[in-house]
Structure 1
Amino acid sequence: MKVLVGNLAMAGVAAAAMLHPAVAQAAAAPVSLSSLVAYVRNGDIYVSKNSTEKRLTTGGTHARPRWSPDGKSIAYLKGGLLWVMRADGSGRRQLSTRAAAGPSWSPDGKSIAFASLSCSGGPGVYKIAAAGGQAEVLFPRDCRGEDLPPEPSPVTARSGSLSERLSTDDAVAWSPDGTKVAFRGGDCESVYDACLSVGTVATGGEQTIAAYGGGSLQNKGFAVVPSWRSDGAKLAWTAYEKGETKATDQPVHLVEYDTKTRAKRTVGGALDREMAYLDAKRAMVTGQYGKGSWVMIVGLAGGARTPFHEGSQPSVQPVR
């Protein structure tokens, strides 16, 4: 049964117990994971695998940490630009002066994909060597070989409601086999008001996997912050939908997509977002707990929830 946890009006474990006793019991027990989880709190990046955490950055404006495939480096955003550092926070270096959104490593660890303004005027996907160099266009395909557009000003913070802030998040996700990239927008924006695409790196072709408004669709919404399971069999994203009637509205939630059958299902609870797979049965998500956002461990089958650390935007270190 799906467990829905909304905004909790009272702080602390006691308040959580009133709505969901399992959460309070889990919070009292120590959590120990086999992998480090990177996450963001108050604009800085932390890592942890248990009750002890390590702060890797200071000064704020940090976002969207993403582990390299070998687990030795983290790509992240600083002031809206793409940076890389070692797993212990040392060796920080800026990779690009082009405004960037949510990075994702290629499976071989040699390149990093990120979103930025494309030649078409909408969001595009670029790749850059992890060692640094000139960014190249991946999507839209028609922008390949064209001069890069002027560099837009970096965006470091979004205002508005949770759904408004998420709706334009351009985080991308490179598939585990290296052949595809999932990203917000794409060619589907010529038909729909908002959409999520999976593009094939080799050909530049795109497949629409979620769409809102336009065409024959009367709904409104978005699908953002995609995340692949390590075997590539599942793709998850953060979604929001305003239906034709209030009864069909869906607040911010998580969708899991089967890449073979194309079946979709809702996982986690209300306001869960920014999912990163731990394994086939569990995921790290950003959820509402107490008075704020916490990184939570969520069971994908039964919905069991364990608070991990205060923060958001989790990324799981690959196990080698």
Structure 2
Amino acid sequence: MYPQLARLAAIALTVLAAVAGPASGAGAGRAGASGPGSEPVEAGPPRPFVFVQGGDVFLTDRTGTFRITTSGGASWPRISPDRTRIAYAQAGDVWVADVSDSGGHIAFTRISHDGRAGGPSWSPRGDRLAYRSGTAHHGTTVLAKAPPPGGGTPAAGASTPGTDPTDRAAPGTGQAAPGAGRSAPGTGLAWPGPGQAGESGGTAAADATGWSVLREANTVAWSPDGRSLAYPGGSCSATYDDCLTVLDLGTGAESTVAGFDSRRPGFATTPSWSADSRRLYVTRQVGATPGPVTATAYDLAGRGTWQVGADGDSTPVPVGNGRFLVTARTAAGDTVTYLPGDGSRQALSPGAQPDWNPGRPG
């Protein structure tokens, strides 16, 4: 899928921030994309997928695992439908890393500038991004034009790192080779120590009351049919302490999927959609005394719910045929884990917040 990455794997990768165009460093790239029906459903873990580890974005394809950002502080990476770009949040702003260049260059474009943006989501066509500016409880939904693949003109209102004197640690600066330290076999990634979260959105981290830090995860999900956005908070925050909302983009109407209050404490965050846009998969925790974090499915037609994976799994991403990528809590720390749907589990890499896209055309 990414042949130039195989060529780059044998050399040290240096990624420099882009200034008015593709970056001058080397990084991940791509040779093409395929849409539904053009390739069979993969057996085994899907490729490519993205995730965070140590505050940086990584991409894993069929040839290996590659660091996309190097300055830390990144979270919630989301790969575009055509698999040429990766949107993510860093220091309260949304960025896009373009990995489409056949020569291995990465271009970075800054999408937001208010320092309050949460995790982004791609439209099904890959031409827009959605995110919430604010918190997981109160915020404003923003739809922004996405930069096209190939290092084209940045979206209106966006800038490239280095062009704004207020930029904070622009992504892509420094060395892009995998970090040093004790590494997982075949990945070059460092495993956090036992009981450590390893990420800002790690499942092992909890506040003093026992609630997971994922209670504050401010992410959105754009439905595959293009009609809806799902996110925590919304107008239901006036009624509930925590809630999960679906916004109808055609009418502007919000509907409450789940609500939590003092009688039924809990939260549901980090939504992702099923391919038919009929189910939401979320990170959930409930109980007067907080129970375990779980990956939970919501059937939007019947409002039925069920657990995906084991206690401690979070940030579920469906990858077809009843299979999922999740962040699992293990003795080694947060681990990107594949659930093939038969009750077994496969640890893929140290890290958290995985994302995959079936490769729908733009």
Q: What's the TM-score, normalizing by structure 1? A: 0.75
Q: Distance in 2 between matches of 1:54 and 1:32?
A: 20
**What 5-or-longer segments of structure 1 have no aligned partner?**
1-30, 136-152
- For the structure 1 residues 53 and 158, does the alpha-carbon distance in structure 2 shift closer, same or farther, using more than 3 Å as the test? closer
Give the C-alpha shift of residue 32 in structure 1: 5.6
- For the structure 1 residues 51 and 283, does the alpha-carbon distance in structure 2 shift closer, same or farther, using more than 3 Å as the test? farther
Q: Secondary structure at the match of 1:188?
A: helix
Paired residues of 2:212 and 2:293 also in contact (CA < 8 A): no
| Structure with greater helix share of residues | 1
Q: Distance in 1 between matches of 2:201 and 2:57?
A: 18
Residue 297 of structure 1 aligns with an amino acid whose one-letter code is Y
Share of identical aligned residues, percent? 31
Paired residues of 1:76 and 1:84 also in contact (CA < 8 A): yes
Paired residues of 2:85 and 2:99 also in contact (CA < 8 A): yes
269, 273, 291: which one aligns with 1:228: 273
Q: Distance in 2 between matches of 1:68 and 1:177?
A: 15
- For the structure 1 residues 50 and 287, does the alpha-carbon distance in structure 2 shift closer, same or farther, using more than 3 Å as the test? farther
Q: What's the TM-score, normalizing by structure 2? A: 0.67
192, 197, 201: which one aligns with 2:245: 197
Kindly indicate whether residue 99 of structure 2 is the aligned counterpart of residue 87 of structure 1: yes
Q: Indicate the residue corresponding to 2:229 in structure 1.
A: 181
Q: Distance in 2 between matches of 1:96 and 1:173?
A: 17
Paired residues of 1:285 and 1:313 also in contact (CA < 8 A): yes
Q: Distance in 2 between matches of 1:267 and 1:106?
A: 25
- For the structure 1 residues 77 and 50, does the alpha-carbon distance in structure 2 shift closer, same or farther, using more than 3 Å as the test? same
Q: Distance in 2 between matches of 1:279 and 1:157?
A: 27
Kindly indicate whether residue 86 of structure 2 is the aligned counterpart of residue 74 of structure 1: yes
97, 106, 122: which one aligns with 2:138: 122
Q: Indicate the residue corresponding to 1:318 in structure 2.
A: 358
Paired residues of 1:101 and 1:171 also in contact (CA < 8 A): yes
- For the structure 1 residues 161 and 127, does the alpha-carbon distance in structure 2 shift closer, same or farther, using more than 3 Å as the test? same
1:173-198 per-position Cα deviation (integer Å, ceiling 9, x unaligned): 01111110001011111111110000
Q: Distance in 2 between matches of 1:232 and 1:111?
A: 18
Q: Secondary structure at the match of 1:251?
A: coil
Q: Distance in 1 between matches of 2:44 and 2:350?
A: 16
**What 5-or-longer segments of structure 2 have no aligned partner?**
1-42, 148-154, 159-167, 169-198
Range moving further from structure 2, 231-240 or 126-135 = 126-135
- For the structure 1 residues 49 and 289, does the alpha-carbon distance in structure 2 shift closer, same or farther, using more than 3 Å as the test? farther
Paired residues of 1:67 and 1:318 also in contact (CA < 8 A): no
Q: Distance in 2 between matches of 1:33 and 1:270?
A: 21
1:62-94 per-position Cα deviation (integer Å, ceiling 9, x unaligned): 111101111111111122211001236701111
Q: Distance in 2 between matches of 1:189 and 1:58?
A: 36
Give the C-alpha shift of residue 34 in structure 1: 4.5
Q: Indicate the residue corresponding to 1:269 in structure 2.
A: 310
Residue 255 of structure 1 aligns with an amino acid whose one-letter code is T
Q: Distance in 1 between matches of 2:212 and 2:280?
A: 23
Q: Indicate the residue corresponding to 2:127 in structure 1.
A: 110
1:83-135 per-position Cα deviation (integer Å, ceiling 9, x unaligned): 001236701111110221010011111110001139xx922211111032259
Kindly indicate whether residue 156 of structure 2 is the aligned counterpart of residue 133 of structure 1: yes
Q: Distance in 2 between matches of 1:257 and 1:82?
A: 28
Give the C-alpha shift of residue 315 in structure 1: 0.5
User: What RMSD, in angstroms, separates the aligned Cα atoms of the two structures?
Assistant: 2.5
Give the C-alpha shift of residue 35 in structure 1: 2.1
Paired residues of 1:103 and 1:113 also in contact (CA < 8 A): yes
Q: Indicate the residue corresponding to 1:167 in structure 2.
A: 215
- For the structure 1 residues 277 and 48, does the alpha-carbon distance in structure 2 shift closer, same or farther, using more than 3 Å as the test? same
| Structure with greater strand share of residues | 1
Q: Distance in 1 between matches of 2:337 and 2:201?
A: 23
- For the structure 1 residues 42 and 168, does the alpha-carbon distance in structure 2 shift closer, same or farther, using more than 3 Å as the test? same
Residue 91 of structure 2 aligns with an amino acid whose one-letter code is G
Q: Distance in 1 between matches of 2:256 and 2:318?
A: 22
Kindly indicate whether residue 259 of structure 2 is the aligned counterpart of residue 211 of structure 1: yes
Q: Distance in 2 between matches of 1:158 and 1:73?
A: 22
1:201-230 per-position Cα deviation (integer Å, ceiling 9, x unaligned): 12111111111115xxx1211110000022
Q: Indicate the residue corresponding to 1:48 in structure 2.
A: 60
Q: Indicate the residue corresponding to 2:293 in structure 1.
A: 252
Paired residues of 1:125 and 1:183 also in contact (CA < 8 A): no
